[in-house]
Structure formats: C-alpha cells, structure tokens
C-alpha cells in the first residue's frame, strides 16, 4: 500500500499533479526551515516564492505521479511502523511487569488525602509509571541519570489537558501550579512534597514534540487495553468510520497558485488546506484546516459508540482515500475488524480493501441509484406489477435453491 505501483501511478496521473506539487513545496519547507512556525508572515511569503521559483517552474507534467499515496495525502507520519505493540502483546507486557514485582509498594503520596479530585484519581489508577517509562524511553535512557522521568512529564501533560487546557506551558510550569502548596498537582505528577523540584516548561514542551508516532500509538494501545478490559463493550460489536472538520486559524493563504485550472494554496500552517465541508446552514461550504477520520467501536445492543483511533489529514482530500490507511493502522494495533459501517464517502467498490485486509465495509445506498420497478420507496415493499396493491411476501428457499 505504501509503495507506488504502476497502476496507481497511471491512475493518479493528471489530476494528482497539483497534489504532488503541494507535496514538494511542503517537503522542502519542512526540510530547509524546521523553525517555520517561528518565522514572520512576510518572511514566509518570501521563502515560499523562492521555493516555487526553484521547483514548481520546472515541474514535468508529462510524467506519471509516482509519489506514495500516503505522502500525497499528507499522512506519511501516521502510517504503521516497526515497534507498534499489539493489544495482546500489551496485555503480556503488563502481566510480565506486574509478575516481576516481588513486593508492590503503596505510594502514600497518591492517597485520597492529597488526591481529592475524582477524575484525577481515576486517571492515576489507570497509569502504571513503570510501563509508561518503558513505552516512552529513548535511546540512551537510564533511570539513574534522571530526576524527572517520562512518566512525570506524561502525567503533567494529562494534568494540563484535564485541568488547565487554556494555559501555555510557560504559565503552567510555575510555582502557582506546582509550588509546594499545590499538593494535589505535585502528587498526581509524581513530584516530591518536600523538595522544591519543578518541571521546566522547556522540558514539557520538548517532551511532547519529541514523542514519535510509534510511541504515541503505543500509549493509545495501553489505554485501549484498559478500555477493553473494563467491560464497557458488550459481545455484539461492529465498527464505524466517520470524519469531522477541524478548522484552522489560517484564513488567508500566504500564496495561491493557479496551475492548469487547479488552485494550490499554501497557508501559514503548511499542512492544512481548503476543502468542502458538509452542508451546514450557518457555515460556509468551505473549511480551511483539517479533517479527522475516526474509527469507532459500536455496541450493537446499546448503540453506544467509542472512538478508538484517528487519522488527521488536510481538509481538501476525499474521505474514501483514508479508509485503507485507517484499517491498516487499527490492525497493526491488534484491533480485530470484521465489519465496518460508514457513509457513502467511505466505500470499497472494487473490493480491494476486503482482499487486502479481510474487512467488509457497508454503506447506505446511494441517493443517485434508482429503485427497481414496482418497489415502494418508503417501505421497500415489492409488488408484482403497477396494478397490484398487495406487497409480495418472501416464502423461503428450498434445498434446490428455488424460492
């Protein structure tokens, strides 16, 4: 799926050239200017014009687009990679860590005396610091070298997301929120109650940006393991896929090109783009930003739906492109998929998804498809002819397959 094939290259040729041009521009900007977000708008416009002059002016439209589909869709950093732990392997890892602990010491710091918030108590019981450190370690990591562990930084991120989502890292990592009098915050993050040890805002900022995609997926697998063990899902499970729009603050593009009837827009956020949104009475038909494609688990008895894993992509791509990537990622995590229900945008018309993954996708009938003759549009009942007023009944099938 990741490697370009001749069939895909020929099929993508023509209308995919503008996506390839956007891919080249985005790739060069990220490679040459890693501090892109810190540059001023005027400087960014000048840089983009130089990149366009260097690469786009000499672009060969006669060749087939051979770039991998994941790069054209801007999800090359969200595809399965070596190191992703499956759900069963995660269960084995948790059992191994627990069984190797001869004595389980209770941590008095995290008793309800200090940790009074019920939500923080629940999250605290869910997290095993030893396993989190295993999942988030980096090359050369040694516990004896550190005062602040990955589990402390991970807990700080969770605390910020739960209690202080509107704060910057600089404001969050201060005495006001991590001083010795802030016992609940210090206990949750694992900081000492007797030492003035603090988490610096640069540590927390670098921690989040340094996490690889594999590490983030493994964290998700760890949480999903506890979710499936919780019993919230029944035995009758099917899966669904849908998308939601995430608008960006970028309103006007830095540069807008019109190449062979196709517009290429480069925004302040080079990964986002302009796409059509679903019909909403109070909003424009266009959205600038991203579309989040999410796989959910649905309890067929209760109708409750739980999100499992998502892919984030620019808003200008059709939903159907992301179905195989989302299924492949879920299977790499060990999620068992058999039947997926989705809207018309996600489909497997050529049967390639079922052939490659064994997953069946069901979608509602297209509104453009006409009903068979003598069929009631409201009830779906079938009549013998136009003059008949009594719907036909299905009697059954004999062993010879005759009705």
d(CA 33, CA 40): 12
Pairing of strands 339-342, 237-247: parallel
Task: Scan for tokens 């790499």, then name that residue.
Answer: 332
Q: Which long-range contacts (CB under 8 A, 24 or more apart) does 346-352 make?
A: 346/241, 346/319, 346/320, 346/322, 347/320, 347/323, 348/323, 352/324
- With bands split at pLDDT 50, 70 and 90, how would you rate the model's confidence at 373? confident
Average confidence score pLDDT of the chain? 84
* pLDDT computed for residue 2 by the predictor: 41
With a cut of 50, say whether residue 4 has pLDDT above it: no
* pLDDT computed for residue 217 by the predictor: 96
Task: Please give the average per-residue pLDDT across 361-378, as a whole number.
Answer: 76
Cα 311-317-323 angle, rounded to 5 deg:
45
Task: Please give the average per-residue pLDDT across 137-151, as a whole number.
Answer: 73
Higher local confidence (pLDDT), 226 or 5: 226
Contact 255, 22 (CB under 8 A): no
* pLDDT computed for residue 277 by the predictor: 78
Using DSSP, state whether 296 is helix, strand or coil: strand
Reading the block at residue 149, the tokens are: 């562990």
With a cut of 80, say whether residue 260 has pLDDT above it: no
pLDDT more than 90, % of the chain:
37
Higher local confidence (pLDDT), 382 or 14: 382
Whether the pTM exceeds 0.85: the reply is no
With a cut of 70, say whether residue 265 has pLDDT above it: yes
Q: Which of 216, 215, 218, 239 lies closest to 89, judged by CA?
A: 218
Q: Which of 113, 104, 111 lies closest to 125, judged by CA?
A: 111
Task: Please give the average per-residue pLDDT across 182-209, as a whole number.
Answer: 90
Environment class of 163 (CB within 10 Å of its CB; exposed 0-12, middle 13-18, buried 19+) = middle
Residue boundaries of the structural domains of the chain: 6-72, 87-218, 234-362
With a cut of 90, say whether residue 309 has pLDDT above it: yes
d(CA 326, CA 312): 10
């Amino acid at each position: 799926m990741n490697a370009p094939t001749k069939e895909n290259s020929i099929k993508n040729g023509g209308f995919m050239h503008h996506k390839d041009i956007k891919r080249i521009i985005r790739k060069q900007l990220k490679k040459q200017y890693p501090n892109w977000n810190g540059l001023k708008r005027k400087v960014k416009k000048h840089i983009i014009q130089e990149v366009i002059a260097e690469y786009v002016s000499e672009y060969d439209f006669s060749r087939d687009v051979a770039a991998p589909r994941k790069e054209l869709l801007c999800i090359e950093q969200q595809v399965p990679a070596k190191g992703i732990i499956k759900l069963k392997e995660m269960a084995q890892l948790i059992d191994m860590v627990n069984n190797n602990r001869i004595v389980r010491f209770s941590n008095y710091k995290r008793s309800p005396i200090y940790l009074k918030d019920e939500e923080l108590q629940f999250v605290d019981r869910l997290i095993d610091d030893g396993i989190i450190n295993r999942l988030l370690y980096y090359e050369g990591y040694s516990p004896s070298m550190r005062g602040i562990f990955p589990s402390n930084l991970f807990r700080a991120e969770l605390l910020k997301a739960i209690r202080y989502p509107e704060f910057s890292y600089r404001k969050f990592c201060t005495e006001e929120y991590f001083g010795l009098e802030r016992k609940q915050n210090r206990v949750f993050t694992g900081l000492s109650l007797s030492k003035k040890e603090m988490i610096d805002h640069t540590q927390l900022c670098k921690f989040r940006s340094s996490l690889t995609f594999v590490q983030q997926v493994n964290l998700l697998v760890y949480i999903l393991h506890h979710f499936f063990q919780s019993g919230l899902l029944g035995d009758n499970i099917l899966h669904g896929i849908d998308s939601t729009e995430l608008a960006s603050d970028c309103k006007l593009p830095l540069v807008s090109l019109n190449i062979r009837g196709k517009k290429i827009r480069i925004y302040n956020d080079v990964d986002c783009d302009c796409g059509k949104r679903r019909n909403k009475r109070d909003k424009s038909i266009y959205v600038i930003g991203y579309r989040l494609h999410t796989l959910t688990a649905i309890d067929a008895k209760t109708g409750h739906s739980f999100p499992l894993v998502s892919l984030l992509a620019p808003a200008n791509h059709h939903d159907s492109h992301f179905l195989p990537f989302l299924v492949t990622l879920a299977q790499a995590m060990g999620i068992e998929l058999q039947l997926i229900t989705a809207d018309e945008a996600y489909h497997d018309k050529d049967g390639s998804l079922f052939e490659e993954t064994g997953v069946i996708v069901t979608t509602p009938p297209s509104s453009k498809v006409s009903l068979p003759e003598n069929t009631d549009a409201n009830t779906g009942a079938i009549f013998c002819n136009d003059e008949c007023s009594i719907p036909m009944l299905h009697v059954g099938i004999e062993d010879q397959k005759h009705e």
